[in-house]
Amino acid sequence: MRKSEISIVLICFGLIFYAPAFAEDVERIEKSLKEAIHEELAAQKEVQEWSAEKEAIINDLLDLKTRLDWNRFQNRKYKAYVYQKAEEVNDLKTQKEKLASMRMELEPYLSQVVSDLKDRIVSDVPFLDEERSRRITFLEESLLDPSLNLGERLRRVLEALRVEAGYGNSVGIEETKLVLNGEPTLVTMTRVGRVGIFYTTNDRKQAGKWDKVSQSWQPVSDDYLPDILRTTEIIQQKRAAELVDLPIGPTR
């Protein structure tokens, strides 16, 4: 046998001998590749899942940070609100203390004002006696009424003072009875502010005035009767306004 033929035979024999081993290597390599690919795919899936989870965590953290910032902002606002309310409470306490002190001073002061007003009405020109007397009684009852707060009591006293002060700038006519010469007589009283208050009898024949010095009604000269009658008619709007001569001053 020639040398070349011997080589071919040896090669064929080698292929026949190593073929099973080569096939096993291929299968092993293929299996390794499949496992590597499977592991790579699994790793990629884990990476994708982790990326999604990480994004969710980041979003949650951002949301928590936003809420935390909001809560901090609200806490600052609430602290400022609490501080403001505390200042208001302190102011109210101070005002309450002042009001308590004022109440202790104002209550007796109002009582004194009403008492002085009552004395003033008694010594004042006698007009609207019943109305003014009822007003004083109303004030005295108001000051003793526990259901009324101090502000309402003060308002009522000030209103009474306003009304009384208004009499000085007003005029009035009143039909009443006076004791003249020992006899009850129907008269028309004519008030001109607090400057003077006069009367004329219903027969328009007599006239008189209130004398502050003697605190009594005094007759006046017949010379004044026409002017007093005209004054009454002017106040009643029965004639146009004009200058009149009234007996002002103490009676002589």
pLDDT digits (tens, 9 = 90+) for 150-174: 889 999 999 999 999 999 889 999 9
Report d(CA 78, CA 203) in Å as an integer: 83
Give the residue with greater pLDDT, 82 vs 12. Answer: 82
How many whole angstroms separate alpha carbon 44 and alpha carbon 19? 37
Give residue 112's pLDDT: 95
Report the amino acid identity of residue 102: M
Whether 138 and 156 have beta carbons less than 8 Å apart is answered as yes
What is the model's pLDDT at position 18? 53
Buried b (16+ CB within 10 A) or exposed e, 34-48: eeeeeeeeeeeeeee
Question: 160, 158, 155: which is closest to 137 by C-alpha?
Answer: 160
Q: How far apart are CA 136 and CA 120, in angstroms?
A: 11
Tens digit of each residue's pLDDT (9 = 90 or more) over 96-114:
788 778 778 889 999 999 9
**Residue 43 binned pLDDT confidence (cut-offs 50, 70, 90):** confident
Contact 240, 177 (CB under 8 A): no
Q: Residue 37 pLDDT more than 70? A: yes
Alpha-carbon gap, residue 69 to 6, rounded angstroms: 90
pLDDT for 12 beyond 60? no
Long-range contacts of 123-132 (CB under 8 A, 24+ apart): 123/215, 124/194, 125/191, 125/194, 125/196, 125/197, 125/210, 125/212, 126/197, 126/210, 127/167, 127/172, 127/174, 127/189, 127/191, 127/197, 128/172, 128/174, 132/164
Percent of the chain exceeding pLDDT 90 equals 42
Name the most confidently modeled range: 3-17, 23-37, 142-156.
Answer: 142-156
The helix/strand/coil state of 215 is: coil
Integer Rg of the chain from CA? 58
Q: How far apart are CA 208 and CA 221, in angstroms?
A: 8
Reported as a pLDDT band with limits 50, 70 and 90, residue 24 is low
Instruction: Say which range, 7-11, 51-55, 83-87, has the weakest mean pLDDT.
Output: 7-11
Among 61-65, 134-138, 194-198, 199-203, the least confident range: 61-65
Calculate mean pLDDT across residues 29-34.
76
Report d(CA 115, CA 185) in Å as an integer: 32
Q: Is 72 helix (H, G, I), strand (E, B) or coil?
A: helix
